[in-house]
Each structure stands twice: as C-alpha cells, then as structure tokens.
Chains A and B, each alone.
Chain A
Amino acid sequence: MLRRRAFEGRRRGSAGAGPQMMPVAWILVFLPWIGAIALALMPPRGRLPAMVNIAVSALSFALALGLLWEPHGEQGWTRTDGLNLPFIAVSALVGLTTAIFSAATLEGERFDNLRARAYHAAFQLFMGAQFLALAADNLGVMWVAIEIATLASVLMVGVHGTPAAIEAAWKFFILCGVGIALALFGTILLYMAAMPVVGRGDPGLSWAALQAVAQDCDPGLLSLAFVFLLVGYGTKAGLAPLHSWLPDAEAEGPLPICAVLSGLLLNAALLAIMRAESVVAAHPAALAPGPFLIGFGLLSLLLAALALWRRRDARRLFAWSSIEHVGLAAIAFGLGGAVANLAGILHLLGHALVKSAVFFAVGAASQIKGSQKIADIGGLAASHPVLGWGLALGIAGLAGMPPFALFVSEFRLVAEAAARLPWLVPVIGLGLLLAATALVTAMQALCLGQPTRDNPVPGVFALPGGLLWVTGPVWLHLALATALGLAVPAGFAALLAEGARILG
C-alpha cells in the first residue's frame, strides 16, 4: 500500500512538472521512491540491498548539492528558495551517512527477509517524502509528503515487532495521526482565508502566494488556521506537550532510525510551522504567532532539561535532547526578525548534524556493549578511542560547547533575546544550564572512567573496515558542524541569510 502511494505521487508529480524535462527538485523526490520500489523487490540476501541503499542515498546527495547551484524558483508544486535548500542539502547528507551506518549495523538488528525488505524500502520512501515536504510550495502537497513520511517511519519504528516496538509504533501512529489530521484542517482553513483574495484553485494553497496576499485575508481565519497548523505539525516536531511519542520511537526502532527522525523529520515539521508563521505574521490584525512559539519552545526546553536528568537509556536521553533543541529553535523563530531566524535555522541544521553523529556513536556503542543502558556503556574513550572521543565531542556539542554550530546559534539566540525580551534570558539560561550539566554528566558516564565489559551483538561490524563505517560519519558530521559554526562558505552564508529574510 505504501508503494501504491509512491506510484500515485509519481504520476501526479509528472503532471505537475509539465511536459518539459523534470526539474531537479522532482528528480530528488522520485529517485529515492524508485529506489524504494527496487529495494522492496530485491532479494534481501547478502549485502546487496544495503549497498543499493547507500548508492541511492549517494545519488540523492549529489542531486541535492547540484540543486544548490540551480537557479531558485518555482517548479509546479515545489519551490526552491534560501529557506529550504540548506535543509535539503543537510537532509541528503544525513540520509547518506545514515545509509552507511545502517549497512554496518544491519547484522546486529537481526531482521528476517521480509523485515529487511520493509526496512530498506521504508527508509528510501521516507527520504523521498522528506525531500518533497521540504521542497513543497503547495500546502496540500506538503501535507501529503509529511503523511507519507509518517507512514514510512511508523513502519520503520515497528519493524522489530517486539511488544515494546509495537507499543512505540502504535503511540507514534495515533498521536501523529491526530496531529497531521489537525494540520489538514489548518490547511483547509488557510485556503478558506485566501480564497476570496486569490481566487479558486492552486494559488490558494501556495506558500509564496499566501505570503504575498496575507494582508488582505480574513485575520480570524488566518489565526484559527495557525492554531491548527501549530498543534498539528507541532506534534510531528516533538514540541512539548505533544512530544510523548518521540522518546519511545527513538528507543525502540532500529538504530539508524534515530538519526533520521531527530535530524530530518523534526526539521521538516518545524519548517512547515515556520512557513505558517510567516503567513500569519504578515497580517497585523491576526493572532501574533511569536508568543505561541516562544511558549511551546520554553515548555519544551525546560521539560526536556529536567527530563534529561532521569534517563537511564542512552537513546531516550538523546531523544529528550532533541525535544530541548527543537524547543530552542522554536523560541528563536518565535522571537522573529532576521537575526533570530538565522539563529534558529543554524540551530536546526547544526542539531541535525551533531545529533545524528551522536546517535551513530551511541548506536555503535550499544551494539558493542550489547545494551543501550547508560550504566552498561562506560569508558568508551579508553576502550574505543576514536568512537569514544567522537561521542564525547558530539555530546559536548549538544550541550552547547564551542566550536560547534549549536554554540554559535545558542549564543546568537541569547544575545538577541537579551536585546529584545530580557526576561527570557534567565529562563533560557536556566534551561540551557540544566540540560548542559545533565548531558555532561551522561558524557562522563558514557565516555570517561573505567571501561565496561564488551558484549558484542554477533555478526556486527563484519564489513571490511569494521568500526570505520561508524567513526567516519561521526567525525565527518562533527567537522561539518564545526565548519557551520565557525567558517561558513560565503555562498552558503548568503543562502542562510536569505532563508532568514524569507521568514520575515
């Protein structure tokens, strides 16, 4: 059934793109979906599916980089601009490194044939939907993309079929099902608001058209639409108090899922909220969206900062840290303005890079130690120095230490808050401090001290190169996160600044 949806999307996509050659943005969407069909049909014996998975992801990454040099603009239902291009590039990179990590750790997941097929196909289905959700200009298309991503990730979370995995998948499905249903209601309301101004048909669902005419729309309908979109997509973004599916999904799914859920899905949902915010904020008489975002953000930050202290499961710990970072980004977007928006975008990108690196390292460690309990993983820096120090640096990055991008974005956020809403500073500071100390405590337990006994899952890291399949992606992500913080190439910096301006 998932595959049928992919086919449907494909048919509609080619209709939307017109008779000429398909735009790169659409190729980027369909390539993973074709890969998903191939992976679902392929006999899952041996290492071939994992290698095909890497090849498709590598091609997607090349396309995403190529997209950076394409002229920006509209291609039917998609529109590339300074806001979504950096996210597409980072998503494609995380997709590629996750595929590499997945190839190395697949043996340890002990899938049977059917599950291995379902897992690989769902991964590529998810990647295609992720690209479509980021690139979509049409609200309806974006909603369908986020729905496909939800279906694919439910399949991936529940693929182990253990009671815990099924409970996690079920909770994820019901909560996100309600969430995206509410988001669809918000979408309908937004169209109702725009229809009297832009007329019937497709323009009423286009972000760019909506942003241009927002001043003339009915402010009441815009406000109501924003509330539904915020609650709906906020569920997917993991904003408290709608976050409760996230720690379960991250802890019970296969290891590579954590990286794509935390690094990619949350970003796509938050991007949808940001676009909705930019439409509603353009009307002076509509509800001011900023205070809502700041409220949700502060709640997420403080709740996660406290929850981080009580985690004993390493993957749940870092899932809570994702809630914290999404909260920080929401505060930044709630403040608004070019500086705070830039901080928010930088924060999301940096978080995607650092968090997936940490999940790779923790995943590898849990396969080496045979447990994902923090107490069972200890002294990694002594027993596996390259992996252990990578994890230690990654956790330090999540705690907001320099030189990573998260330090730069948090610094800019606090500076901007101090200039505009000084009362926010002590609250954000408290949250950051609590979260950072909890993470450093966890880092000491995981990486420093006496090494615990290895109890490797049989067959893990059997590929030639062994742990390099994990440590390579980890250190690459850390290096890129440093570059994003300290030495952004001029072209990319201009792109980020343009994205911040688009949000207004």
Chain B
Amino acid sequence: MMMSFGTPAYDISHLLGGGVLLLSFVLLYQRRLGAVINAFAVQGALLACAAAWQGFVQGAPGLYVTAVIAFGAKAVAIPLALRLLIGRLGLHKAVEPAFGIGASLLAAIGLVGLSVMVVLPITAGGVTPLARVDLTIALSVVLLGMLAMIARRNAISQVIGLLTLENGLILGAVGVTGMPLVVELSTAALVLMVAVVAAVVVFQIRDRLDTLDTSILDRQRGDA
C-alpha cells in the first residue's frame, strides 16, 4: 500500500492523529475536572484506533496489542480511577488555570506551529510522508501535554497533562515503521503513568500538595 496523500493508509492515520491532537486542544479549554477526564478518555480511545490502524497498515500484529492495552488503560481504567478519586477526596471540581484559557489556546497554536516548523524542514529527505506527518502531530501532542501541565495548578490536571504527553509519545512510536520493542516500550511507559496515578491515590495528594510551586516546599525544607 502506498503511503502518500490520497491513499486510505495515509488519510486514515492522518485523521486519527489529527483527532488525538484536537482532543489535546479540547483538554486545554475545559473548566471542570470531569470534562477534562472525559476528553482524556476519548483521546485514549482515538490513540488505540490509531495504533490498531498502524498495525494493519504496517502488517505488525504487535501494534494490536499496544492498541488493546491503550484502550483498556487510557479509555477505561485510568479515567474511572480518576473519577473515583475526585469523588472520594471531594476535590474541587473546577479546574484552576494558572493562566487564562484564551492565552493557553494561543500558546497551544504557537506550539503546533513550532513543531511544524521544526519537523518538516529536517525530515525533507529519507522519511516517508506518513512518518513525517505523524511525527509532527506526535511532537505537537507532546508539547501540548507539557503546556497542560504548566497551565493548570491542580495535581490531577497536571497528571492528565503528563498522560496526554505520553499519548503523544505512543502516537509517535507506532507511526515509525518497524520500530523494535514498540510494544514493550509503550507498556513500560504505561506502567510509569499508572504508577503516577497510583501515587496520587496512595499519597492522597490534595489541594495542599497539588502544586509544583517550590515556594510551598520551603515550609518543609530547612532553608526558608
């Protein structure tokens, strides 16, 4: 199957990748934690579809495993766990943005522009057009994940930012033809993310602890 513009292989993976990126934008303008978690679940489902489609196009059955794991964990298990957690801890349901929604969306557009400008010129030779577009989208999702972590004060929103960042990584990894260990690496990355979620549950990180602002740590350290 040719992988260039106009063929189903290219168009469908482009569509799914674009959907994942779109959901990253959706995550940025939600004002309620529940909506953020829903958007993340949809993104996880789309990522699973993207991985399965790549498995079909590349004839790599391992990617179906990645897809199933991604769906089970990111579209079902992690969103459920986070919902239970915010219910049980009685966390503020509203997201506290560190800077305005409009500003973060503008910054997001800037970051996507940046990743286009970075990736397209350097991959002009050697790489297939599909991998090129995939990489651009993956880098955008990674950068938007970092933005989401910076733009929110709340611990759970920051964890979701990290989780979408990891979605970007998996999107990039499944798009590269013949990447070895891709199932192992995506599983290992998922284990890390599950551990982060588990840490929130076990440590019961609440409002008092829900920021990475180092000034708050000064109370605890001997240096204040």
Contact = CB atoms under 8 A, between A and B. Distances in A.
A10 interface: no
A199 B121 CA distance: 23
Given A5-B191, A173-B196, A185 B123 contact: no
B199 interface: yes
A180 B180 CA distance: 18
Contacts of B220: 163-164, 167-168, 252
Given A224-B118, A248-B217, A312-B222, A184 B181 contact: no
Interface stretch (B29-37, B88-96, B169-177): B169-177
A1 B196 CA distance: 12
Contact of B169 (A181, A251, A372): A181
A143 B185 contact: yes
A442 to B, nearest CB: 14
A154 B199 contact: yes
Interface string B139-176: 10010001001000001001000100110110011001
B205 A170 contact: yes
A147 B122 contact: no
B203 to A, nearest CB: 5
Contacts of A181: 142, 162, 165-166, 169, 189, 192
Given A177-B192, A192-B131, A312-B222, A169 B203 contact: yes
Interface in A168-188: 168-171, 173-175, 177-178, 180-182, 184-185, 187-188
Interface residues of A, number: 62
Contact of A201 (B158, B176, B180, B223): B180
Contact of B221 (A196, A202, A316): A316
Interface in B31-75: none
B188 interface: yes
A453 interface: no
B176 A191 contact: yes
B125 interface: yes
B163 to A, nearest CB: 10
B177 A144 contact: no
Contacts of A196: 126-127
Contacts of A310: 223
A226 to B, nearest CB: 12
Contacts of B217: 167-168, 171, 248
A74 interface: no
A168 B189 CA distance: 22
B196 A177 contact: yes
B177 A200 contact: yes
* Dominant SS among interface residues on chain A: helix
* Dominant SS among interface residues on chain B: helix
A205 interface: yes
Contacts of B193: 177
Nearest to B128: A196
B15 interface: no
A244 B216 CA distance: 13
Given A188-B169, A218-B123, A316-B221, A170 B180 contact: no
A220 interface: yes
Nearest to A200: B178
Interface string B97-125: 00000000000000000000011011111
B185 A316 contact: no
A159 to B, nearest CB: 12
Given A5-B191, A372-B222, A373-B222, 12 more contacts: A147-B191, A151-B191, A170-B155, A173-B195, A173-B196, A173-B199, A188-B179, A202-B181, A220-B121, A252-B220, A311-B223, A316-B223
Interface of A: 1, 5, 12, 138, 140-141, 143-144, 147, 150-151, 154, 158, 163-164, 166-171, 173-175, 177-178, 180-182, 184-185, 187-189, 191-192, 195-196, 199-202, 204-205, 218-221, 223-224, 244, 247-248, 251-252, 310-313, 316, 372-373
